[in-house]
Amino acid sequence: MSTQNKIGVLNIAENLQLDLDTDTWVCGRCSCVIGSAHENVKHSLLVGERDPTEVHPPLIMGQPYSFAPNPEWVRILEFYCPSCGVQIETEYLPPGHPITYTTEIDLAALKNRLNQGEMVIENGHLKVVTT
């Protein structure tokens, strides 16, 4: 029976983790496995679209002045964990634009550096090993 060394879990964002032992995205709040880390995490999350004028209210109540983007030009997408509903990410996109691929990690290279001892994971964060 062979035993593999556990690599660990890496914090990617406030509510997103990468389990390097299973190559999966994991919710940082409820530990739900979201999907394969070889794919865009956003494709496995719940998506809500928000009106920019709702997110960016007027600076002075009763006045039409605001820093809100024009809803005809920009949409705000919020991405949520399908298990607990915590927000994972947000992006501003032109209407009709496909969801972007913002978090892509070279898993093989990262694991190689961890296995060679160049880096370690401490409390969910990468640390470079100095000699």
pLDDT per position as a tens digit, 65-87: 778 889 999 999 999 999 999 99
4 band by pLDDT with thresholds 50, 70 and 90: low
Which structural domain, as residue segments, surrounds residue 98?
9-128
On whether residue 55 sits in a domain, the answer given is: yes
On whether residue 38 sits in a domain, the answer given is: yes
Work out the average pLDDT over 43-63: 88
On whether residue 3 sits in a domain, the answer given is: no
Task: Give the span between the Cα atoms of 24 and 112, in whole angstroms.
Answer: 17
What local confidence, expressed as pLDDT, does residue 119 receive?
A: 95
Residue 35 has pLDDT above 90, yes or no: yes
Total domains in the fold of the chain: 1
On whether residue 115 sits in a domain, the answer given is: yes
Work out the average pLDDT over 111-118: 95
Task: Give the span between the Cα atoms of 35 and 95, in whole angstroms.
Answer: 26
On whether residue 107 sits in a domain, the answer given is: yes
pTM, entire model = 0.87
On whether residue 1 sits in a domain, the answer given is: no
Work out the average pLDDT over 47-51: 95
